[in-house]
Amino acid sequence: MADSEVVLGLLNDGNYTLTEEMDNADIVLVNTCSVRENAEQRIYGRLGEFKAVKSKNPEVVVGVLGCMAERLREKLNTDEARGVGQIVDLIVGPDEYRKLPSLINNAWHGEKGVAVKLSRVETYDDIVPLRTSGISAWISIMRGCDKFCSFCVVPFTRGRERSRDYFNIIKEVEELGKRGFKEITLLGQNVNSYRYDKYDFADLMKTVSEVDESMRIRFTTSHPHDMSDKLIETIASKNNICKYIHLPIQSGSDRILDLMKREYTSSHYRNLINKIKASIPEVSLSTDIISGFPTETEEDHRMTLEILEETRFDGAFMFKYSPRENTPAWKMDDDVNDEIKSIRINEIVMLQNKISAERNQEMVGTVHKVLIEGESKKSSDDFHGRTEGNKIVIFPKENSIPGTYVDIKITRTNSATLFGHIYKNHKGVKS
């Protein structure tokens, strides 16, 4: 989403207007993810839809942006079997978005465009992303990744790690504050390795949180190997830094973590969690899990279940291992068959859903500060918003206004959502 906003910012030069309706579009761009095979399959599905648009109006320019463009440049250009080569006019990788206006111009004149060079310096520092929400904003503080976890395609599709100018990030936060934004999420594949001159990520979080105390500050993602005590103390010490940490563990087995090249052990992870819980008792935690990594045994799988039981994460993103071409793990035998992967992922999901439901249930009767994001999808009488711990809350609107904070008393929950009513509105009236 953050990258798409950068692209919209680059195209926001008076020549183009944004439409949500594909039938009205002269240019259709799709931003893509390569992290797992099914993300790519979804894009092939979308390209099928674009084919229909293009057969109605052959003038339409179709562009594939992002990681898939980087990874599959040749396939996208020539894949006659799926007809993809015929419908894609532009293939633009994550570091070449600046070329889009001229590539689009050339495409109008029938010239295909391919721009997939990775950069060591591009951070789009001077580009003002076009943000449509008005309440929450993403800011990429760094690009690329140098970690080279053995399963991961990101270092290949997004290139070397580089951090954005510290002072420009702060300026952007100040601008967003003036425009009324209430929530900022600082983004990077491994924010803990952010560095600009003498400033590290904890310095950046501290300064950003001091720009406007009515704005909530979030960040993602922290790599467990690089998370510093200084960062934990900074999160604990600032009221408007959300007490929510996403800390992907991937596996509970040290043997698998080693094969994954994650650079930490399960006991390092446990110590880190204990330190976080001791410094920030009200913290919400979430994680990522990969199930069925090459050579994973039933015993390794049990260790993952154990660490989930023990840590009691509020939530988790859980994936079956998906082999990615050219990564170090690609050369290992993908020897956990799909049936076993399915059984294991189901066990993981069921356990985590039970824990998430219990964690949510513990919140019944408590009051939480919620930033109102907009109308609930299910009922026009209700709003949805988020707690500091990043949980979605549904509640009757009463007289509240999106983009403001309300205190919500939680009355019931399930594993995914909290429900409640306004306990104190922004004018401080209790009910």
- What is the pairing mode between strands 315-320 and 90-92? unpaired
Residue 80: CB partners within 8 Å, gap ≥ 6?
86
Q: Give the one residue of 131, 147, 218, 359 binding ligand SF4; rule: CB under 6 A.
A: 147
Residue number with CB closer to ligand SF4 (85 or 323): 323
Span 245-274, contacts to ligand SAH by CB under 6 A: 248, 250
User: In whole angstroms, how close is the CB of 333 to ligand SAH at the nearest point?
Assistant: 15
Residue with tokens 């909290």: 418
What letter does residue 330 receive in the DSSP assignment? G
Q: Give the one residue of 152, 242, 307, 308 binding ligand SF4; rule: CB under 6 A.
A: 152
**Residue 148 interaction partner, one of ligand SAH, ligand SF4, none, beta carbon < 5-8 Å per kind:** ligand SF4
324 binds ligand SAH (CB under 6 A): yes
Q: Give the one residue of 221, 265, 295, 415 binding ligand SAH; rule: CB under 6 A.
A: 221
288 binds ligand SAH (CB under 6 A): yes
Residue number with CB closer to ligand SAH (136 or 193): 193
Q: Which of 337, 289, 335, 329 is nearest to 313 (CA)?
A: 289
Q: Give the one residue of 190, 234, 287, 400 binding ligand SF4; rule: CB under 6 A.
A: 190
* Contact window for ligand SF4 (CB under 6 A) among 76-84, 125-133, 150-158, 415-423: 150-158
Q: Which of 256, 269, 310, 319 is nearest to 289 (CA)?
A: 319
Residue number with CB closer to ligand SAH (189 or 360): 189
Q: Is 252 helix (H, G, I), strand (E, B) or coil?
A: coil
**Residue 322 interaction partner, one of ligand SF4, ligand SAH, none, beta carbon < 5-8 Å per kind:** ligand SAH
CA distance linking residue 39 with residue 42, whole number of Å: 5
167 binds ligand SF4 (CB under 6 A): no
What amino acid is encoded at 375 in this protein? Answer: E
User: In whole angstroms, how close is the CB of 87 to ligand SF4 at the nearest point?
Assistant: 30
Q: Give the one residue of 155, 159, 252, 292 binding ligand SF4; rule: CB under 6 A.
A: 155
Structure tokens at 430: 């209790």
User: In whole angstroms, how close is the CB of 39 to ligand SAH at the nearest point?
Assistant: 9
Torsions phi, psi for 228 (to 5 deg):
-95, 155
CB 124 within 8 A of CB 168: no
**Residue 321 interaction partner, one of ligand SF4, ligand SAH, none, beta carbon < 5-8 Å per kind:** ligand SAH
User: In whole angstroms, how close is the CB of 353 to ligand SAH at the nearest point?
Assistant: 17
In which element (H, E) is residue 383 found? strand 382-386
Residue 354: CB partners within 8 Å, gap ≥ 6?
415
Q: Is 380 helix (H, G, I), strand (E, B) or coil?
A: coil
364: left (phi over 0), alpha (psi -120 to 50) or beta: beta
**Residue 288 interaction partner, one of ligand SF4, ligand SAH, none, beta carbon < 5-8 Å per kind:** ligand SAH
Residue number with CB closer to ligand SAH (218 or 324): 324
320 binds ligand SF4 (CB under 6 A): no
CB 396 within 8 A of CB 421: yes
Structure tokens at 202: 């904890």
CA distance linking residue 154 with residue 324, whole number of Å: 10
Residue number with CB closer to ligand SAH (322 or 390): 322
Structure tokens at 365: 């009767």
CB 334 within 8 A of CB 294: yes
| Sign of the alpha-carbon dihedral angle for 64, 183, 221, 39 | negative
Q: Give the one residue of 163, 193, 322, 413 binding ligand SAH; rule: CB under 6 A.
A: 322
CA distance linking residue 173 with residue 222, whole number of Å: 20
Residues 204-243 vs ligand SF4: string with x where CB under 6 A? Answer: -------------------x--------------------
- Residues in contact with ligand SF4 by CB under 6 A are 145, 147-149, 152, 154-155, 189-190, 223
Residues interacting with ligand SAH, by CB under 6 A? 35-36, 151-152, 189-190, 221, 223, 248, 250, 288, 290, 319, 321-322, 324
